[in-house]
Chains A and B, each alone.
Chain A
Amino acid sequence: MLEHYLPIFMMILGGVLFGIVMVKLNEWLGPRRPTEEKLTTYESGMEPVRTARERFSVKFYMVAVLFILFDIEVVFMYPWAVAFRELGIIGFVSMTVFILILLIGLFYVWRKGALEWD
């Protein structure tokens, strides 16, 4: 059973390895001659004066919550899509109703300007 997932596993492994190998390869092969100027955050640009860890705006919260809500919608679509052929017309109609109801939500969010960045 588990061997069905071998391709996925290989892909995750490949992805992780590719990332590590590329960064490390760069480190090994590239010449490194650091100077004080080069080590500054912006080589040509303004001096950074404050900590880089800024407090995030609460506006992101709206985006994050809406993302979760519409993500849940996708969760339901996944098994529906896989079993679509067996479900026939009932499956189609029920998913249409589901999406229509959520479309009202999208319409509401849009009209309320929650997708805009004030």
Chain B
Amino acid sequence: MIEQILHSLSLFLPETTLTVFFCAAIIVGLVAGRTSRASLYVALIGIALATWFAIQQAGSSEGIFTGMVVVDPFATFFKLLIGMSAIVILLFSLYSAEVQSTAHRHIEYGSLLLAMTLGMFLMAGSTNLLMMVLAIELTSLSSYVLAGYTREATDSSEASLKYIIYGAVSTGLMLYGVSILFGLTGATDFYNINRALATGSVNATALLVATIMIVAGFGYKISAVPFHFWTPDVYEGAPVTITAFLSVASKAAGFALMMRFFKTCFIDANALGLPAGMWASLQGFEWNKLLAILSVLTMTLGNLVAVWQNNLKRLLAYSSIAHAGYMLMGVVVLSDKGLAAVLIYFIVYLFMNLGAFYVVMLVANKTGSEDIDTYKGLGYRSPLISVAMVVFFISLAGIPPTAGFIGKLFLFAALLDAKWIWLAVVGALNSVISLYYYVRVVRNMFLRDPERNAEPVVFSAPQVVIVLALLIPTILFGLFYSPIVELANASVVMFGMK
């Protein structure tokens, strides 16, 4: 037993690091005094180290801690993604007016970001219902508090409250679903659930009810319709840094857990005559059709509502709902190609979405507003930032030669490969709608005159460096995409699966 635990711990270094730094961030912050930024630096070092250790684990594939979590290429990929976005968010935070104005609460900011990252790392690797719920709870709990972090602002408190209420309801539903699934199969381990379901003695209706309830929990994390109601209000009310983190890392962790859950629990492991890289859903339970409906609803609603938004944060919130819809298409097709497409999309999404949010934050820092009118003539006041924003937006819309195009290209290729033509058509139509509202912002920046006596907006050198660090990959991966494709193809391997 002791040897087992020690062996597990050796493979658990990234999470252990995060735990130690989480505790350290609290203690250091308390000792260093109330306005110290020490906790933020502790968090930055902790997450950077944890990400480094996660990279070291590339290639290993093993279940640890009596099968509660696994370390496999799939989990490592998402840990890398989450860790990188957490680092970027912490760098944002050092230059965020919102975060810096609440200096007396830096301990909580740093430590809860660490806790949230830890929760998401665990989500990426969970293979047990119990761990799954615990990891989601750890992530959600930290994000509730961070969403309401700037308590002085009313909308921030409101955002936090809405987030908690929706979160409590969807976690409750998920717990119901989990308990039904446990009752049906008598197992909490994903692999054992699959084995129990494969015997075919489980009541199909009960299984469907349980799955729908569990999907409520996942849907809430990835903000899929109809579990998206919290998204616009929380994204608008929360500090921009946290909004950006929720829209990328939280979504990535939710997708990681959902893909693992469906792929390990609900596929027919003994299906015969399938082409390589394709899987089959359990006999008599075609859950991918359920996800297809969810995907269509999510992207259509997200895009249609985004058209009417005038607040940039709300616009990006609906756009992120729509992107969740696109990514769900990759899960529907039941193939390694589909999963790889989702992973590619996430790499691309990391850069372009964080970039867009960062520009919104910089502009809000200077002007105090996130309204679309603020962007009128910004192209003349601050050319570099505006050009960056244009690139991020056309990448989000999926136009070549940006990385966003590559993400969409692989998704649609996977769909057509698996003969999901109608879904591909819906996805393509949605991309066209999305173009409208992205271009609307771009038009405001370059084709509208600035208001009179508007001065040039100047940003400091470190801020420009961060923008460039996000801008260059967004263009580069649109032209040289083979590295990310290779990384994604190598990362679809899950522990214990063919």
Contact = CB atoms under 8 A, between A and B. Distances in A.
B209 interface: no
B110 to A, nearest CB: 13
Interface stretch (A3-11, A18-26, A56-64, A103-111): A103-111
Interface stretch (B23-31, B120-128, B224-232, B423-431): B23-31
A111 B26 CA distance: 11
B30 A108 contact: yes
Given A107-B30, A108-B30, A90 B23 contact: no
A59 B19 CA distance: 30
A104 B5 contact: no
A55 B93 CA distance: 39
B461 interface: no
Contact of A90 (B1, B19, B27): B1
A49 interface: no
Contacts of B497: none
Given A101-B23, A104-B23, A90 B2 contact: yes
A90 B30 contact: no
Contacts of A104: 23, 26-27
B9 to A, nearest CB: 11
A91 to B, nearest CB: 11
Contacts of B1: 90
Nearest to A112: B30
B272 to A, nearest CB: 44
Contacts of A111: 30
A108 B107 CA distance: 10
Interface string B4-28: 0100000000000001000100110
Contacts of B27: 104, 107
Contacts of A89: 2
Interface of B (DSSP majority class): helix
Contacts of B26: 104, 107-108
Contacts of A90: 1-2, 5
Interface in A92-118: 101, 104, 107-108, 111-112
Nearest to B29: A108
Interface in A74-93: 89-90
A95 to B, nearest CB: 14
A5 B422 CA distance: 64
Nearest to B31: A111
Nearest to A110: B30
A111 B33 CA distance: 10
Contacts of A112: 30
Nearest to A104: B23
A58 to B, nearest CB: 13
B161 to A, nearest CB: 14
B125 to A, nearest CB: 20
Nearest to A89: B2
A65 B30 CA distance: 21
A74 to B, nearest CB: 19
Nearest to A111: B30
Contacts of B5: 90
Interface string B335-371: 0000000000000000000000000000000000000
B456 to A, nearest CB: 43
A114 to B, nearest CB: 12
Nearest to B19: A101
A89 B26 CA distance: 29
10 contacts: A90-B2, A90-B5, A101-B23, A104-B23, A104-B26, A107-B26, A107-B30, A108-B30, A111-B30, A112-B30
Interface of B: 1-2, 5, 19, 23, 26-27, 30, 107
Interface of A: 89-90, 101, 104, 107-108, 111-112
Minimum-distance CB pairs A-B, first 6: A111-B30, A104-B23, A108-B26, A104-B26, A90-B1, A108-B30
Given A104-B26, A107-B30, 15 more contacts: A89-B2, A90-B1, A90-B2, A90-B5, A101-B19, A101-B23, A104-B23, A104-B27, A107-B26, A107-B27, A108-B26, A108-B30, A108-B107, A111-B30, A112-B30
